[in-house]
């Protein structure tokens, strides 16, 4: 049986040559992301912005958008966002936080139920008051920060510090570009988006670790080669695996995006984006950092000298 | 590489068998599982996987105990206590008792009287948590000023009261919600001053909010006489038909002493009413008040609104009575439920609410299943296309990986949510990564000219460190998501975290055994990938 190979065998691409393109490009995209975040902003869902969102479906099966809009606007609840979603005739109504504190949200739900309850089935009602949304923002941000610190601490113990720095920069890059993705697409940013971001961070580091592991291995073996040559050699060696894994994860996410329903579509979209960014950054951002930091094969010498006598002792005793 | 103890193979097979047994109940009808579970000892994990509210439909509400209303109730109780003390001590007040935000000021002009009042009022300050607890500070700061005595609730006392209010609210809510006839309701404390309610299957929360939204504090107060001093009376709205009525502030008897309340019918008019019964203490107080005030109207006040104010015709000493108020029988029966369950110690505000109807829940289950099947099939085909027979091994390991996730979730009683399903689908793509790392390494080693057996061996050995490193980072992300996330997102963290653990077991250990068995049987001369 002829087996399928997406990645060509025994490649010798000069990945490191591209750093003169990839660094300015990534720097530019990161700046754009920050600027977009500051000046355009994300489309925060009710988890973080507070407010009320209901998903209704006409009992008769007939969606009359104009009528829904008119009814909703007549309720005196401020601006009501009306949006048709999916193919099942679902309509999403979204209200901003109502004045009058927590009680205001409750009044709004009651008004919506009164206005639409007769002709529409309420498929879901979500309402987040101002105090809870503020806390969710806090715990979401804290979660992302703590996750990054925890993972990087692990890397710092496990690898030489230069590798950890490369991983930090790669992770920040992926994080920024994912934020940029949410700003550009205006996909709703909610709690599942935080889950997506953390998973992207995990995946990004997973990719980085695989590449760095190999670089370290090759560096120990070929001390005479230049760092760029070593990195190119390592990336080419793990390239089939990188492509293979990115593809399997991508296939799974694709199924999720198209078939998983609208509730998690923004999650799947962000994850798909994240897989691409993470794969790119592990090759073109994290690894070249080692060149800039002047990592050479001899960074391992001290460690090895310290380790080997101990190992020899152990052997001698055994 | 080729050798592994037979007991290892046996234990892996045993794990798979146990996992299969664990997930079987989830595919049986729920009532059958319930019947079976009742017949086996409780330590046997015969149960279905728990579906989150987003999948099975239901209502989730997060409510906050209103600190301000706890304080207000405390201040009012304090004012009544102070008034009682002043009466008992026969102290002449120059300016009455003034309630403030967090305390009470007793205005006494005369120095001697003030000193007397001060020593009397100090007795009101109790050690927090009762006389026995001690050491935690006291409930009140009592100070003497130029114009009177100032009593202020301490921070510790307020925190203590809020804590009590939360526990007490949970008890009251349990009684109220159970009376609605729902099942598998969860009512639990969350954080310092919040209570969460989860009711599977409930769609419209309007009725729920009616039942839980009322404090249901029942007070009996005398209707004011024209001669009463202005600062001792208050004007309250009528519950029905508009209008107001002026009553004395002093609460003669309250609903805290009620032991029962039932909906009944008025014997003369046939209208629905509520019959209540006091405990001994309440009955005695009620008897005393009604004896002393025959001929006066007695207001029945619920949550600051007057239900009715019937005239006391004769002393009511039996400890029971009726509340009439132009009720429909439905109103009378929910009032009876509320009174039976007792009053909430404080007002509860809904700060977060999420309901999912059964339609959307089922749609989400269907969509999640479809995505999982299609995702799995795509990955399975792709693995076989790329790695041939080794792909089949990886796919078998993948099937066991999915089985293990469900089995461990069932065993742990973890909740499966829609993001949780997304997590499982993601780990389907991720789980084969370990196999990919191993296989690609085997290929490389074979290209370097190693023999089949040594390439296999080196592939597994060298890839393992990388597999552990790369999975640790993902696991840490899942762990933190679990700690900081809430609700359905936690479900994602659970399935991702469990999936990472099971995938290492299946993709490394099981694949290795399969390849070893395959090698012994086939004795290949070259690596088939």
Query: Which of B134-143, B432-441, B503-512 bottoms out in mean pLDDT, i.e. has the lowest?
Result: B134-143
* B345 and B374 part of one domain: no
- By Cβ distance, the residue of B204, B476, B481 closest to A154 is B476
Give the sheet arrangement for strand B298-302, strand by strand: B253-254, B218-222, B298-302, B305-308
Fold of A15-43+133-302: Multidrug efflux transporter AcrB transmembrane fold (1.20.1640)
How far apart, in Å, are the Cα atoms of B68 and each of B61, B151, B373? 21, 18, 52
* B242 and B306 part of one domain: yes
- By Cβ distance, the residue of B354, B430, B466 closest to A210 is B466
- By Cβ distance, the residue of A139, A241, A260 closest to B437 is A241
Confidence band (pLDDT; 50, 70, 90) for B270?
Answer: confident
pLDDT, position B395: 95
Answer whether B473 sits within 8 Å of A194, measured CB to CB: no
Answer whether A143 sits within 8 Å of B425, measured CB to CB: no
CATH of the domain at B252: 3.30.1360.200
3-state secondary structure of B220: strand
How far apart, in Å, are the Cα atoms of B476 and each of B36, B423, B479? 39, 15, 5
A15 interfaces chain B, CB cutoff of 8 Å: no
Q: How far apart are CA B398 and CA B400, in angstroms?
A: 5
Answer whether B429 sits within 8 Å of A248, measured CB to CB: yes
Name all contacts of A29-36 with Cβ < 8 Å and 24+ positions apart: A29/A176, A29/A177, A29/A180, A30/A173, A30/A176, A30/A177, A30/A180, A32/A180, A33/A176, A33/A177, A33/A179, A33/A180, A33/A183, A34/A176, A34/A180, A36/A180, A36/A183, A36/A184
Average model confidence (pLDDT) for chain A?
86
pLDDT over threshold 90, residue A177: yes
* B308 and B379 part of one domain: no
Chain B residues inside the 8 Å CB shell of A245: 429-430, 432-433, 436
Chain B residues inside the 8 Å CB shell of A45: none
B484 interfaces chain A, CB cutoff of 8 Å: yes
Answer yes or no: are the C-beta atoms of B166 and B66 closer than 8 Å: no
Predicted structure pTM score: 0.83
DSSP B510: I
* B284 and B367 part of one domain: no
Q: How far apart are CA B520 and CA B499, in angstroms?
A: 30
CB atoms within 10 A of CB A182: 25
Instruction: Report CA torsion sign: B336, B341, B343, B344.
Output: negative
Q: Is residue B180 part of a domain?
A: no
- By Cβ distance, the residue of A3, A5, A205 closest to B473 is A205
Mean pLDDT throughout A224-244? 90
* B400 and B488 part of one domain: yes
* B274 and B374 part of one domain: no
Chain A residues inside the 8 Å CB shell of B428: 252
A313 or B347, greater pLDDT: B347
* B328 and B375 part of one domain: no
pLDDT, position A307: 41
Q: Is residue B37 part of a domain?
A: no
Residues B426, B14, B384, CA angle at the centre, nearest 5°? 40
Answer whether A146 sits within 8 Å of B484, measured CB to CB: yes
Answer whether A102 sits within 8 Å of B477, measured CB to CB: no
Q: Distance (Å) from the C-alpha of residue A50 to the closest C-alpha of chain B?
A: 9
Answer yes or no: are the C-beta atoms of B265 and B271 closer than 8 Å: yes
Q: Is residue B447 part of a domain?
A: yes
pLDDT, position B346: 83
pLDDT, position A254: 95
B315 or A223, greater pLDDT: B315
pLDDT over threshold 50, residue A314: no
Q: How far apart are CA A89 and CA A110, in angstroms?
A: 23
Q: Is residue B401 part of a domain?
A: yes
Confidence band (pLDDT; 50, 70, 90) for B130?
Answer: low
Q: Distance (Å) from the C-alpha of residue A174 to the closest C-alpha of chain B?
A: 15
Chain A residues inside the 8 Å CB shell of B359: 57, 121, 123
pLDDT over threshold 80, residue B465: yes
CB atoms within 10 A of CB B92: 10
3-state secondary structure of B43: coil
B354 interfaces chain A, CB cutoff of 8 Å: yes
ipTM here: 0.88
Confidence band (pLDDT; 50, 70, 90) for A1?
Answer: low
Answer whether B477 sits within 8 Å of A201, measured CB to CB: yes
Answer whether A10 sits within 8 Å of B62, measured CB to CB: no
Chain A residues inside the 8 Å CB shell of B352: 127-129, 132
Q: Distance (Å) from the C-alpha of residue B183 to the closest C-alpha of chain A?
A: 20
Mean pLDDT throughout B25-45? 84
Confidence band (pLDDT; 50, 70, 90) for B330?
Answer: confident
Q: Distance (Å) from the C-alpha of residue A66 to the closest C-alpha of chain B?
A: 24
Helical axes B452-484 vs B511-522, angle rounded to 10°: 160
pLDDT over threshold 70, residue A304: no
DSSP A141-163: HHHHHHHHHHHHHHHHHHS-HHH
Residues B255, B256, B257, CA angle at the centre, nearest 5°? 90
Please report, for chain A, the start and end positions of each structural domain, with discontinuous segments joined by +.
15-43+133-302, 51-128
A136 interfaces chain B, CB cutoff of 8 Å: yes
CATH of the domain at B461: 1.20.1640.10
How far apart, in Å, are the Cα atoms of B387 and each of A6, A129, A173, A245, B522? 12, 52, 33, 13, 17
Q: How far apart are CA A230 and CA A20, in angstroms?
A: 18
Answer yes or no: are the C-beta atoms of B484 and B476 closer than 8 Å: no
Which residues of chain B from 58 to 97 reach within 8 Å of chain A, CB to CB?
Answer: 62, 64
B272 interfaces chain A, CB cutoff of 8 Å: no
A131 interfaces chain B, CB cutoff of 8 Å: yes
DSSP A215-283: HHHHHHH-TTS-HHHHHHHHHHHHHHHHHHHHHHHHHHHHHHHHHS-GGGHHHHHHHHHHHHHHHHHII
Q: How far apart are CA B19 and CA B400, in angstroms?
A: 9
Name all contacts of B266-272 with Cβ < 8 Å and 24+ positions apart: B266/B322, B266/B324, B271/B324, B271/B326, B271/B327, B272/B327, B272/B328, B272/B329, B272/B331, B272/B332, B272/B333
Answer whether A264 sits within 8 Å of B422, measured CB to CB: yes
Chain B residues inside the 8 Å CB shell of A89: none
Answer whether B436 sits within 8 Å of A103, measured CB to CB: no
Confidence band (pLDDT; 50, 70, 90) for A312?
Answer: very low
β-partners of residue A159 are: none
Instruction: Name the residue among B194, B351, B206 with its Cα closest to residue A46.
Output: B351
Structural domain total, chain B: 3
* B505 and B372 part of one domain: yes
A5 to chain B: nearest residue by CA? B386
Mean pLDDT throughout B261-284? 88
- By Cβ distance, the residue of A129, A199, A251 closest to B375 is A251
Q: Distance (Å) from the C-alpha of residue A151 to the closest C-alpha of chain B?
A: 6
Is there a common fold for A15-43+133-302 and A51-128?
no
Percent pLDDT > 70 in chain A is 92
Query: Domain boundary at B294, B317, B349, which?
Result: B349
Q: Distance (Å) from the C-alpha of residue A210 to the closest C-alpha of chain B?
A: 6
- By Cβ distance, the residue of B359, B372, B496 closest to A199 is B496
Which residues of chain A from 89 to 128 reach within 8 Å of chain B, CB to CB?
Answer: 101-103, 105-106, 109-110, 113, 121-128
Mean pLDDT throughout B273-293? 89
Q: How far apart are CA B494 and CA A316, in angstroms?
A: 46
Average model confidence (pLDDT) for chain B?
87
Which residues of chain B from 389 to 448 reach within 8 Å of chain A, CB to CB?
Answer: 418-419, 421-422, 425-426, 428-430, 432-433, 436-437, 440, 443-444, 447
Q: Is residue B413 part of a domain?
A: yes
* B377 and B480 part of one domain: yes
List the alpha helices (DSSP H) in B309-417: 329-341, 358-387, 389-412
Q: A130: burial class by Cβ within 10 Å (0-12, 13-18, 19+)?
A: middle
* B369 and B508 part of one domain: yes
pLDDT, position B129: 62
* DSSP tally for chain A: helices H, then strands E: 11, 6
- By Cβ distance, the residue of A128, A154, A247 closest to B352 is A128
Q: How far apart are CA A251 and CA B428, in angstroms?
A: 10
B378 interfaces chain A, CB cutoff of 8 Å: yes
Q: How far apart are CA B389 and CA B50, in angstroms?
A: 36
* B370 and B269 part of one domain: no
Label residues A243-257 b or e (16+ Cβ within 10 Å = b).
bbbbbbbbbbbbbbb
- By Cβ distance, the residue of B376, B385, B481 closest to A143 is B481
A66 interfaces chain B, CB cutoff of 8 Å: no
Q: How far apart are CA A194 and CA B353, in angstroms?
A: 20
Residue B255: domain span: 218-349
Highest mean pLDDT among A147-161, A172-186, A216-230, B2-16: A172-186
List the alpha helices (DSSP H) in B388-527: 389-412, 418-447, 452-484, 488-504, 511-522
Answer yes or no: are the C-beta atoms of B506 and B395 closer than 8 Å: no
Q: How far apart are CA B81 and CA B111, in angstroms?
A: 22
Answer whether A139 sits within 8 Å of B484, measured CB to CB: yes
Q: Which of A128, A206, A239 to mutate to test the interface with B (most CBs of B within 10 A)?
A: A206
CATH architecture of A51-128: 2-Layer Sandwich (3.30)
Q: Is residue B434 part of a domain?
A: yes
Query: Domain boundary at B349, B375, B400, which?
Result: B349
Confidence band (pLDDT; 50, 70, 90) for A311?
Answer: very low
Query: Domain boundary at B135, B159, B183, which?
Result: B159
How far apart, in Å, are the Cα atoms of A241 and each of A7, B59, B472? 9, 45, 18
* B316 and B377 part of one domain: no
Q: How far apart are CA B406 and CA B47, in angstroms?
A: 12
Q: How far apart are CA B339 and CA B22, in angstroms?
A: 45
Answer yes or no: are the C-beta atoms of B392 and A167 closer than 8 Å: no
Q: Is residue B28 part of a domain?
A: no
B449 interfaces chain A, CB cutoff of 8 Å: no
Please give the distance of CA B441 from its chain centroid, rounded to a whole number: 50
Q: Is residue B509 part of a domain?
A: yes
Q: How far apart are CA A270 and CA A280, in angstroms?
A: 15
């Amino acid at each position: 049986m002829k087996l399928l190979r997406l990645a060509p065998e025994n490649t010798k691409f000069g990945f490191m040559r591209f750093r003169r393109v990839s660094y300015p490009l990534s720097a530019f995209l990161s700046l754009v992301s920050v600027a977009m975040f500051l000046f355009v902003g994300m489309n925060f869902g009710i988890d973080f912005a507070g407010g009320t969102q209901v998903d209704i479906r006409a009992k008769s099966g007939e969606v009359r958008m104009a009528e829904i809009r008119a009814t909703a606007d007549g309720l005196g609840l401020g601006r009501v966002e009306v949006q048709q979603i999916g193919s099942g005739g679902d309509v999403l109504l979204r209200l901003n936080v109502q004045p009058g504190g927590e009680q205001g949200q409750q009044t709004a739900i009651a008004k919506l139920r009164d206005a639409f309850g007769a002709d529409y089935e309420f498929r879901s009602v979500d309402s987040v008051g101002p105090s809870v949304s503020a806390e969710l923002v806090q715990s979401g941000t804290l979660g992302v920060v703590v996750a990054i610190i925890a993972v990087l601490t692990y890397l710092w113990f496990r690898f030489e510090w230069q590798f950890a720095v490369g991983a930090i920069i790669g992770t920040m890059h992926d994080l920024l570009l994912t934020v940029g993705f949410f700003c550009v697409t205006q996909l709703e940013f909610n709690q599942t988006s935080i889950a997506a971001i953390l998973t992207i961070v995990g995946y990004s580091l997973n990719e980085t670790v695989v590449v760095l592991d190999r670089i370290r291995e090759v560096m120990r073996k070929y001390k005479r080669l230049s760092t760029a040559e070593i990195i190119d050699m390592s990336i080419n060696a793990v390239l089939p695996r990188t492509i293979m894994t990115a593809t399997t994860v991508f296939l799974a996410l694709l199924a999720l995006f198209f078939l998983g329903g609208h509730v998690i579509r923004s999650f799947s979209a962000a994850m798909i984006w994240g897989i691409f960014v993470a794969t790119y950054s592990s090759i073109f951002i994290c690894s070249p950092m080692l060149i800039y930091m002047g990592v050479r094969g001899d960074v391992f010498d001290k460690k090895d000298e310290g380790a080997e006598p101990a190992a020899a002792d152990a052997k001698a005793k055994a | 590489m080729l050798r592994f103890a037979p007991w290892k193979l046996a234990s892996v097979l045993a794990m798979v068998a146990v996992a299969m047994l664990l997930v079987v109940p989830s595919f049986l009808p729920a009532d059958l599982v319930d019947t079976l579970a009742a017949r086996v000892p409780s330590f046997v994990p015969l149960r279905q996987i728990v579906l989150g509210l987003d999948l099975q439909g239901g209502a989730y509400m997060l409510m906050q105990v209103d600190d301000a209303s706890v304080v207000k109730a405390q201040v009012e109780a304090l004012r009544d206590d102070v008034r009682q003390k002043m009466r008992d001590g026969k102290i002449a007040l120059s300016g009455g008792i003034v309630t403030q935000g967090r305390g009470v000021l007793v205005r006494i002009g005369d120095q001697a009287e003030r000193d007397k009042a001060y020593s009397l009022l100090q007795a009101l300050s109790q050690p927090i948590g009762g006389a026995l607890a001690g050491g935690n500070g006291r409930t009140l700061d009592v100070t003497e000023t130029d114009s009177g005595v100032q009593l202020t609730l301490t921070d510790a006392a307020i925190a203590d009261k809020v804590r009590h209010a939360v526990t007490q609210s949970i008890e009251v809510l349990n009684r109220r919600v159970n009376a609605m006839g729902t099942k598998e309701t969860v009512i639990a404390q969350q954080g310092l001053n919040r209570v969460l309610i989860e009711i599977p299957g409930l769609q419209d929360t309007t009725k729920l909010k009616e039942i839980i939204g009322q404090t249901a504090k029942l007070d009996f107060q005398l209707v004011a006489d024209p001669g009463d001093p202005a600062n001792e009376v208050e004007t309250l709205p009528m519950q029905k038909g508009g209008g107001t009525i002026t009553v004395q502030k002093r609460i003669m008897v309250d609903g805290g002493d009620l032991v029962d309340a039932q909906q009944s019918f008025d014997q003369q008019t046939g209208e629905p009413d509520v019959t209540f019964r006091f405990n001994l203490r309440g009955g005695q107080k009620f008897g005393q008040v009604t004896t002393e005030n025959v001929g006066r109207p007695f207001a029945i006040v619920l949550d600051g609104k007057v239900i009715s104010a019937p005239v006391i015709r004769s002393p009511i000493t039996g400890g029971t009575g009726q509340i009439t108020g132009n009720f429909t029988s439905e109103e009378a029966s929910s009032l009876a439920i509320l009174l039976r369950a007792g009053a909430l110690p404080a007002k509860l505000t809904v700060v977060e609410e999420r309901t999912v109807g059964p339609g959307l829940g089922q749609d989400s289950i269907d969509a999640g299943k479809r995505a999982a099947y299609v995702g799995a099939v795509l990955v399975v085909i792709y693995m076989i296309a790329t790695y041939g027979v080794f792909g089949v091994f990886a796919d078998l390991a993948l099937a066991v990986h999915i089985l293990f996730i469900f089995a461990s979730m069932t065993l742990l009683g973890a909740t499966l949510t829609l993001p949780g399903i997304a997590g499982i689908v993601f780990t389907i793509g991720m789980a084969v990564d370990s196999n990919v790392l191993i296989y690609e390494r085997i290929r490389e080693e074979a290209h370097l000219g190693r023999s089949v057996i040594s390439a296999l061996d080196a592939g597994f050995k060298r890839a393992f460190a990388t597999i552990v490193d790369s999975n640790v980072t993902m696991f840490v992300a899942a762990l933190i998501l679990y700690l900081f996330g809430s609700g359905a997102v936690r479900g994602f963290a659970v399935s991702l975290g469990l999936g990472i653990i099971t995938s290492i077991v299946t993709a490394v250990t099981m694949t290795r055994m399969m390849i070893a068995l395959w090698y012994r049987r086939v004795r290949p001369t070259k690596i088939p990938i």
